[in-house]
Amino acid sequence: MTVFQVGDVIRLKKPHPCGGYEWKILRIGADFRLECLTCGHTVMLPRSEVERRLKTVVSAGSTNERSKS
- Applying CB under 5 A, among 39, 46, 51, 63 the residue interacting with Zn ion is 39
Which of these ranges, 1-9, 13-21, 26-34, 55-63, lies near Zn ion under the rule CB under 5 A?
13-21
Residue 42 makes contact with Zn ion by CB under 5 A: no
- Applying CB under 5 A, among 16, 33, 47, 53 the residue interacting with Zn ion is 16
CA 65 to CA 69: how far, in whole Å?
8
Residues 6+ positions from 30 with CB-CB distance below 8 Å: 46, 47
Q: Total residues at the site for Zn ion (CB under 5 A)?
A: 7
C-alpha triplet 2, 5, 24: angle, nearest 5°? 100
